[in-house]
Amino acid sequence: MAKINFGGVIEDVVTREEFPLDKARAVLKNEVVAVLGYGVQGPAQALNMRDNGINVIIGQRSGTATYDKAIKDGWVPGKTLFSLEEATERGTVHQYLVSDAGQMMMWGAIKPHLKKGDALYFSHGFGIVYKDQTGIIPPDFVDVILVAPKGSGTSVRANFLNGSGINASYAIFQDATGRATERTIALGIAVGAGYLFPTTFAREVHSDLTGERGILMGALAGVMEAQYNELRKHGHSPSEAFNETVEELTQSLIRLVAQNGMDWMYANCSTTAQRGALDWRHEFRRAVEPVYEKLYQSVVSGEQTRIVLTANSRPDYKEKLGEELREVRESEMWRAGAAVRSLRPENWKK
């Protein structure tokens, strides 16, 4: 492991330098990795491993759009594409990558096919940490491990293809074989992690649920809407309000942050922008700290889990989700966004 100074705190991380792909291949040479679920993370992790020379099969229910997608991606029914149960029977490592609610519903069908010495792999601590709600209690004869890429499946695949990889956390919940750690790290390297940092199942799910409800998605969308609405209330046009709220952030400023950090972004903006941002960041931080405290406690208590499992288990969930997303898409702000995106130079008609 490499020791890295993260803001004054020394952490152990695993990079591809000390754990190269050849070592991962050697660790996994006798494994059959069954990717159970071909929805969000499944395709990216499966394709990355296949490209890296790992023996991968897919478990996915037939007659679904995701089953058809698996076939289009080159998985062959009866050879590398099976039902969830048969894939579990054939595999030695089981990447349980169906949705959180799906994991709960499918567990009774999956558990009987787990064999002594297998590894049960998650990319989210949800099912294990909230076992009182999900009922997912693995047998004591399997390794229970986690590799959680810090990005969507789309990013996991795109970053792999461009050679950059994507950071991931890893954790060991149960080491039945004595090989759980090397299996986990090998799988992390095989799915294309840029580097791996240790965590626990509980810390992973607590940070993940907080992050996606917070700055990664929920908070970002909420503060964008608040600023856009305030500008529109004072007579600014949709184009101006959207550009000042979203377009400049996504097309310019966030790229500066990604390159060298927030201070570097400030240093490369106007002095007027610098002063205002440095002053107002404290106001915004103080305003949202109580919201984050409430959010984190809701995650740790299991309340967010109850909401997710209840909503996602409803038979009309997809229809209701479609309605909610349509409301966002058809709002003035995001209709303005579609118009702004169409005017980007790369979208001009040749």
Task: Summarize pLDDT for 122-144 with one digit per residue, the tens.
Answer: 999 999 999 999 999 999 999 99
Asked if 41 and 123 sit in the same domain, the reply is yes
CA-based end-to-end distance of the chain: 51
Phi, psi of 64 (to 5 degrees): -120, 160
Asked if 266 and 146 sit in the same domain, the reply is no
Residue 238: helix, strand or coil by DSSP?
Answer: helix
pLDDT tens-digit map of 166-207: 899 999 999 999 999 999 999 999 999 989 999 999 999 999
CB 7 within 8 A of CB 23: no
Q: Cα–Cα–Cα angle for 291, 125, 72, nearest 5°?
A: 110
Provide the domain count of the chain: 2
Last residue of a domain, one of 199, 224, 247: 199
Which residues make beta-bridge pairs with 94?
34, 120
pLDDT bin (cut points 50, 70, 90) of residue 349 is low
Asked if 160 and 226 sit in the same domain, the reply is no
In a domain, 205, yes or no: no
Q: Which of 94, 113, 124, 206 is labelled catalytic? A: 124
The pTM (predicted TM-score) of the whole model is 0.88
Last residue of a domain, one of 150, 179, 199: 199
pLDDT score of 1: 73
CB 53 within 8 A of CB 24: no
In a domain, 85, yes or no: yes
Share of the chain above pLDDT 90, in %: 83
Asked if 155 and 256 sit in the same domain, the reply is no
Asked if 225 and 310 sit in the same domain, the reply is yes
In a domain, 318, yes or no: yes
282 as an active site residue: the answer is: no
Asked if 19 and 40 sit in the same domain, the reply is yes
Which residues make beta-bridge pairs with 36?
59, 96
Instruction: For residue 219, give the CATH number of its domain.
Output: 1.10.1040.10
Last residue of a domain, one of 199, 229, 258: 199
What's the Rg (C-alpha) of the chain?
Answer: 22
Asked if 17 and 157 sit in the same domain, the reply is yes
Please state, rounded to an integer, the average pLDDT across all residues of the chain: 94
Asked if 195 and 161 sit in the same domain, the reply is yes
Domain range for 295 is 211-347
In a domain, 206, yes or no: no
pLDDT tens-digit map of 229-255: 999 999 999 999 999 999 999 998 998
Average pLDDT of 298-316? 92
Asked if 43 and 121 sit in the same domain, the reply is yes
Asked if 35 and 149 sit in the same domain, the reply is yes
Asked if 228 and 193 sit in the same domain, the reply is no
Does 298 have pLDDT greater than 60? yes
Does 37 have pLDDT greater than 90? yes
Instruction: For residue 116, give the CATH number of its domain.
Output: 3.40.50.720
In a domain, 204, yes or no: no
Lowest-confidence region among 15-19, 85-89, 121-125: 15-19
In a domain, 268, yes or no: yes
Asked if 285 and 231 sit in the same domain, the reply is yes
